Structure 1
Amino acid sequence: MLRSWIGLLGRPKVITSQLLKKSRYLSTAANDELVVQQLDGDDEGIVVLGLNRPKAKNSFSKSLSQKLTQAIEDLQYEEKLRVLIIRSMIPGIFCAGADLKERATMPQSEVGPFVSRLRRLLFDMQNFATPTIAAIDGAALGGGLEMSLGFDMRIASNNASLGLVETKLAIIPGAGGTQNLTRLIGASMAKEMIFTGRVVKGEEAKTLGIVNHVVKQNENGDAAYLKSLDLAREILPQGPVALRMAKRAINCGSEIDISNALAFEQACYAQVIPTKDRIEGLTAFREKRKPKYTGS
C-alpha cells in the first residue's frame, strides 16, 4: 500500500522558472483587474493576488476567470513561492460572485461550460501545492465565498459578509460550494445556509467554522489582509517540501478512510526523508541557529 501511494505522489522537484518576471499573464499594474504582487525583503516567498474590478465588485467575468486560471497555472512553477494570499484591492468588497450582467448576455449553451471552467479554476486553487490564505475584507457572496472555501485558510474582518446566495436566483452553488461548505461546517448547517441564502457577518462565520480568524476592521479596510500577512509570516520559515507534503496529506487523507489516510500520511512523510532541507533542519537544531531551507 505504501509503495503504491509513493508512486501516486511522485518525488518532489525543485522548479527553476522565473514566471513572476516573465509571464505575460501575471500583471503588477495597479489598474489591471488582477494585480500580482511578489513581496520581497523579509516577506520574500509571499505572493499576493489582488482582485481589482471596482465597478463590477470583483465579480467573475470571462476575462477575470481566464487571468486567474493562468495565474494559478503559472504560479505552480514559481520556485520561491511559499504562501499565496488572495485579497481584494477594493475596500468593502471581496468578491460578489459571478458577473450577472455578463451572464445575462450569455446564450444558454455557454452558461454550463462557463460554470464548469469556473468550478475547475476553484478546484485548482484548492489543490494548489503551497499553503493559501483568503483575506476577506468585505462581502464574499456566491462564487466569491466559494472561491475562498477552496483556500486553506480564511481570515475575515468583523464587518465582512459571507453567504452562498444562489438559491435566491433559482440556482445552486455550482463551483464547489455545496461540497466545501458541507465539509467545513457539516451537512445540516450547510443546508440551512444554502437553503435560506443566509448571509452572515465575520463573527458568526468564525463561530460556524467558516473562517479561521475574525479581526476588527481598520480605517484602511484591510485588516483581514494584514492578519493574513501575519499568518503567512508564521508559515514562511518552515520547510517548503514539508509544507507541500503536509497539505497533500491533509487534503487527501480527509477524503478517505483512516487506514488509507494513515498510509497516505506515511507516503507523504517518505517524501521529506531524502531532502536536503531535513538534514538542514537537524543541523540547525543542533547548532542552535535558524535553518536555511531551499526547498530541496
Structure 2
Amino acid sequence: MGTENLLVDIKDGVALLTINRPKVLNALHTSVIAELQETFEALNANQAVKAVVITGSGEKAFVAGADIAEMAVMDAQQALVFARTGQKLVNYIGTMPKPVIAAVNGFALGGGMELALACDFIYASENAKMGLPEVTLGIMPGFGGSQKFARLLGRSRANELIFTGKMLTAAEAKEWGIVNAVLPLAELVGKALETAARIAGNGLLGVAHVKEAIRRGLDMTEPDGMDYESVLFASLFASRDQKEGMGAFVEKRKPNFTGS
C-alpha cells in the first residue's frame, strides 16, 4: 500500500504513514493532499488497522507547509478550493474513529502544523519547529489553524502566535500544550509506534467512542457532554468487545478484541 508521495507500512494493527517528498521538505501540494485523503480513507476502512502514525521523510521536516510554488499563482477562487480541500482532509482525520498520532520530525509549519493539529496528539523531535507563519507571506491559515489554535491555546496565545508568525521550538510547543512529548529524533517514530501499539491492543470501539465523546463534547456544555458520554458508554454494552474485555478480566486472560 502506498502512492507516489506516501509510504505506508502496516504491522500488528498499526499503520506508519510517511509523507515522502524530502527534497521539498514534504510540502503539501494538491496532489499530496488528495493522496492523503485517499490513504486515510483506505486505512480507516482496513479492518487490520487499529491506529495510525503519520510522519515525514528525512530528518528536516514533518511537513514544512503547503506548496508555496503552487499557491503563488492561485486566484481567490482557486485558493478557496485549495483551503476547502485541505480542511476536508484535516476534518476527516479528526473525525475518523481510529486514533492518529503525529510524529513531528522537524518543521511543521502552516499546512504541516494544521495537519499535525488534526491528529489526536503530537510527539515531536528535539529539532522540531512549529507554527503558523502564513501572515509573513501576506495570507492567513486556511486549513483550520486559526480555529484549532484558538480552541487549544485560548484566544490571546493563538492571536500572538498567528499574528507574529512566530515559530516555536519543540520545548516551547510542549510548554504551550501543543505537543505531548519531546524526544530525540532517533527515538521519535519508535515512541509513536509504541504508543500506537498500546492503543491498538485496546477495544477499538471504546477508543473510537472516547475520541467522539471528547471531540463533540468540547462544543457542548459540560452537562450536555456528560449526557452524550453516558449514551456512548451504554451503547458499548451491546458490543462483542465489551463482553470480551470484561470476560477476559474475570477469567484473568488477555482480551481478543475484534472491533465489533
Deviations 1:56-85 (Å, cap 9, x if unpaired)? 211111110110111122222111221111
* Pairs within 5 Å for 1:80-119: 80-119=48-87
Aligned to 1:236: 200
Aligned to 1:34: 6
Task: Using the aligned pairs only, state the percent identity.
Answer: 36
Deviations 1:12-63 (Å, cap 9, x if unpaired)? xxxxxxxxxxxxxx41x7xx31111111xxxx11011110112221111111
Aligned to 1:14: none
Contact 1:145/1:163 (8 A) holds in 2? yes
Q: Distance in 2 between matches of 1:119 and 1:276?
A: 35
Classify the secondary structure of the residue corresponding to 2:185: coil
Deviations 1:164-208 (Å, cap 9, x if unpaired)? 101111111111111111222211111111011010111111000
Q: Distance in 2 between matches of 1:277 and 1:224?
A: 31
Contact 1:240/1:295 (8 A) holds in 2? yes
Letter in 1 for 2:57: M
Counterpart among 219, 223, 233 of residue 255 in structure 1: 219
Q: Distance in 2 between matches of 1:271 and 1:48?
A: 31
Counterpart among 155, 161, 167 of residue 187 in structure 1: 155
* Pairs within 5 Å for 1:129-140: 129-140=97-108
The alpha carbon displacement at 1:101 in A equals 0.7
Q: Distance in 1 between matches of 2:194 and 2:75?
A: 44
Classify the secondary structure of the residue corresponding to 2:47: coil
The alpha carbon displacement at 1:237 in A equals 1.4
* Pairs within 5 Å for 1:17-96: 26-27=1-2, 32-39=4-11, 44-96=12-64
Unmatched runs of 5 consecutive residues or more in structure 2: none
* Pairs within 5 Å for 1:194-233: 194-218=162-186, 223-233=187-197
Q: Distance in 2 between matches of 1:136 and 1:253?
A: 27
Q: Distance in 1 between matches of 2:49 and 2:227?
A: 28
Aligned to 1:279: 243
Aligned to 2:117: 149
The alpha carbon displacement at 1:270 in A equals 2.0
CA RMSD of aligned residues (A): 1.3
Deviations 1:235-293 (Å, cap 9, x if unpaired)? 12111111111111111111111121111101111221011111111211111111111
The normalised TM-score by structure 1 is 0.85
Unmatched runs of 5 consecutive residues or more in structure 1: 1-25
Q: Distance in 2 between matches of 1:62 and 1:216?
A: 31
Contact 1:161/1:200 (8 A) holds in 2? yes
The alpha carbon displacement at 1:133 in A equals 0.2
Q: Distance in 2 between matches of 1:238 and 1:226?
A: 19
The alpha carbon displacement at 1:106 in A equals 3.2
Letter in 1 for 2:42: D
The answer to whether structure 1 residue 246 and structure 2 residue 210 are counterparts is yes
Contact 1:245/1:271 (8 A) holds in 2? no
The answer to whether structure 1 residue 162 and structure 2 residue 130 are counterparts is yes
Letter in 2 for 1:133: I
Q: Distance in 1 between matches of 2:25 and 2:105?
A: 13
Q: Distance in 2 between matches of 1:241 and 1:135?
A: 24
Aligned length: 260
The normalised TM-score by structure 2 is 0.96
